[in-house]
Structure 1
């Protein structure tokens, strides 16, 4: 009896001593667990193209329907002042490198080249010759996340790199499904190119333009419609699709979901970069969704194209499928294996909407310009337990260059040595965690364009500056005629009133002078190229330090 009691006491003492150690060990394990990261990027989705009011200060579409992305916004934090570059390739280059194009940075200013003046137009400036692709020695965001144990993946649009292989060989992508939207196939002995839909190649069967997508290229059958499309239907009839070719957006969603299922049972965290081709022209949506909008009466004076609305909702349904896969990776209905709580999801667009298919009002103009309609985009972050749900930040400006340092901080990774690879962006984690509404040392954004792009862009530099009382201003400087434009974005979201026209008061001149000098200093510091004058071959100068003085009375 005495021996038994001593044994009980020893067991009790051991339990008391051991329990805190076990608890501490569990806490340490949980706190050190790195989050998975999913970065979803739409192509050409405008600021007003979502139906959520969170991402556009209440200016969302009343015709397009995006219930799944809206739900993501309800569960996360949206940024009202989110920006990109003016078109696809430079945004992607900035995202992957954390750099502007200027000087010794990534060097990608435009899609194709800076020599895209409209035919027959005589240009005053000989444009700078840009890099069309990222340098092989760049230290990409993928490499930085890999350095702390992340498995990396790319699903979707191949841009900023020359070939799909380059994503693996010098960017550090482990699972590489980078591809173009065109599918090349030989049909009845003739080579055929088609956008967005799988084709039945004579020798290969149903294909997309990437071998890893072949398992997902089969036409829609009853099982797929019942199991995959039916749960997401929203007034559309997916059974209209039975036997028709698979859409690339659906196939990419299939591949991402299988990747999530596979990685959910692995120890290493993952980073999945998902740059969809939707909703870029050509506007080729799924037929069942187009049928839905064809019969829907538009209630929004800006938006009325059924094909574009259908394309937007196809993107939305695919995003919904990815979010559902995080909740239930193996799809068995039991969410105990879910990884959503430990996954940061980001939704973003690469530039503003392309006018014609959509309308960016109240923002001015469109993709390709540095007015708000060309560069202001929707942005959502969701990270359960870290980011407060259903919140909107109306102060902090965020640009493509800021994702690299933000994700590095979340992952616990060090940024590259700035002497080797300088990251221009800044982490917005303090804002995401609501430690502050805005960063005091991050109140400027810059755009520089040393060339031409049809009627939309010409040699110019732009600064977005958050002044006192959180007033957001944009100053444009045009190199050909040394002219300026200044707008207060808070009061004039449509950029209709150039504050330097007429007789600007001293307060406006003071703001313009501050912005001009900040822009000039940035251009000089970054050795930004400006091209040469066509007539006398001299280098085009930066804006003058006192250039604003000409607007004084």
Structure 2
């Protein structure tokens, strides 16, 4: 039997249902928009070239204040020991065997007669097929800007950068290039004598002000403190009146460090002025270790271009108000390869990188722990000396000969491809890498050597094996 329909009741029920279904979802009042990201990458700044890492000669009050506001990492590493591969690692999130950028070309540095092997051919820039960090951030809705040294391609706009000032394939500002008129690309000259570090900061501040109502990524890869060493006259005079110590005593270099710190301070102040500080992640680091002939990093051994600690350890601060506890520190080994996966997890883009070699650092940033993992470095080429008396390299002719490195906890193993030699160091007791423990600890040597080989197989890391017919062992004795 069909029951009669009460049209009024039916209409009322439909309306009630419609109103109920249209009610807005409960809003999480703790949810904020994605954070702005400021990534400051200084060129050739050594591990101890800043006050918060222990320098008593260089003055970095703004960075010291930033260190108080965020987390300082005492075991932070660059992805490689010199600028091109390190920056390629940071921008791609991939270790050197995956992108093939091992140095600033060519790979056969030094005298031909002193090289036993034909080195692996170097790749100059990241391949356009690589999904870069800026491209990932654009997928998450970010405006992207780079102000300074790009160096991983000819044109930053093809690799995810919307606004580019001063960036191209060039890796340094050129002879005399820290004062206008400039010798880099994609920048107009300022008044004669304008300082490049100041100019790049002013351009970045304009970018912040223009995009303060959007969500932005600001990459700040200053050319400073890369050679040529050029400081402002008044700042050089300031440090000429100050006594240096522990191999840190060059007034012109100290002037560059001080100017860099002043400009970082201006940049951070601009975030505060525009009410952006609370929702901005700030990362401060260096692309590799400092040049030891210019500034020593004692007790670390060697410097830029070497895979001893002085070449790959770098200063690192990460600040995010409300997320990262002020005055916090970490001794966990981290790498600039970790920036990409960390930021990707924070911003949750529409398109994610299919493969990344770093790890998400959020557990550490928020006061938790990170699962143990190894760090790997691969450098199948040659890099000639800077100063054989100061470099502290394995030999006086090269900062690095072809080899690989693994860091596992407190242990570090170097392997050299020319002669198969291994060096094992305990970084906890011997951070200066003075005592080779391969004979005293053959079990640990074997374990790390096997893990290093497994990693090379997994990443298809090329190892040079072809003998150099022009090698002349007697030539070594003549040097």
TM-score (normalised: structure 2): 0.86
Aligned to 1:94: 89
Given candidates 146, 150, 157, the residue that maps to 1:158 is 150
Give yes or no for contact 2:136–2:353 (8 Å, CA) kept in 1. Answer: no
Give yes or no for contact 2:164–2:186 (8 Å, CA) kept in 1. Answer: no
Counterparts of 1:484 and 1:209, CA distance in 2: 42
Number of equivalences: 432
Aligned CA RMSD, in angstroms, stands at: 2.1
Q: What's the CA shift for 1:210?
A: 4.5
Q: 1:417 to 1:354 in 2, by over 3 A?
A: closer
Aligned to 2:236: 290
Corresponding position: 1:348 with 2:330: no
Given candidates 47, 52, 61, the residue that maps to 2:55 is 61
Aligned to 1:413: 349
Q: What's the CA shift for 1:194?
A: 3.5
Q: What's the CA shift for 1:24?
A: 5.6
Give yes or no for contact 1:474–1:487 (8 Å, CA) kept in 2. Answer: yes
Counterparts of 1:126 and 1:296, CA distance in 2: 47
1:460-492 superposed Cα distances (whole Å, 9 cap, x missing partner): 1110001xxxxx111011111111100011111
Given candidates 207, 215, 230, the residue that maps to 1:259 is 207
Q: What's the CA shift for 1:122?
A: 3.4
**Within 5 A, what are the aligned runs for 1:55-204?**
56=53, 60-84=54-78, 85-102=80-97, 105-116=98-109, 118-161=110-153, 163=154, 166-169=155-158, 171-177=159-165, 178-179=167-168, 180=170, 194-199=176-181
1:182-219 superposed Cα distances (whole Å, 9 cap, x missing partner): 779xxxxxxxx6411102xxxxxxx66445544xx125
Give yes or no for contact 2:51–2:64 (8 Å, CA) kept in 1. Answer: yes
Unaligned runs of 5+ in 1: 1-20, 185-192, 200-206, 220-244, 330-337, 467-471, 537-553
Q: What's the CA shift for 1:295?
A: 1.5
Counterparts of 2:86 and 2:173, CA distance in 1: 24
Give yes or no for contact 2:246–2:296 (8 Å, CA) kept in 1. Answer: no
**Within 5 A, what are the aligned runs for 1:528-539?**
528-534=461-467
Aligned to 2:411: 473
Q: What's the CA shift for 1:391?
A: 1.1
Of Structure 1 and Structure 2, the greater strand share is in 1
Given candidates 447, 465, 475, the residue that maps to 1:514 is 447
Q: What's the CA shift for 1:158?
A: 2.7
Corresponding position: 1:392 with 2:381: no
Aligned to 2:35: 35
Given candidates 294, 298, 306, the residue that maps to 2:251 is 306
Aligned to 1:448: 378
Give yes or no for contact 1:181–1:196 (8 Å, CA) kept in 2. Answer: no
Corresponding position: 1:218 with 2:191: yes
Q: 1:23 to 1:348 in 2, by over 3 A?
A: same
Q: SS state of the match for residue 146, structure 1?
A: helix
Give yes or no for contact 2:303–2:310 (8 Å, CA) kept in 1. Answer: yes
Unaligned runs of 5+ in 2: 1-22, 385-397, 470-479
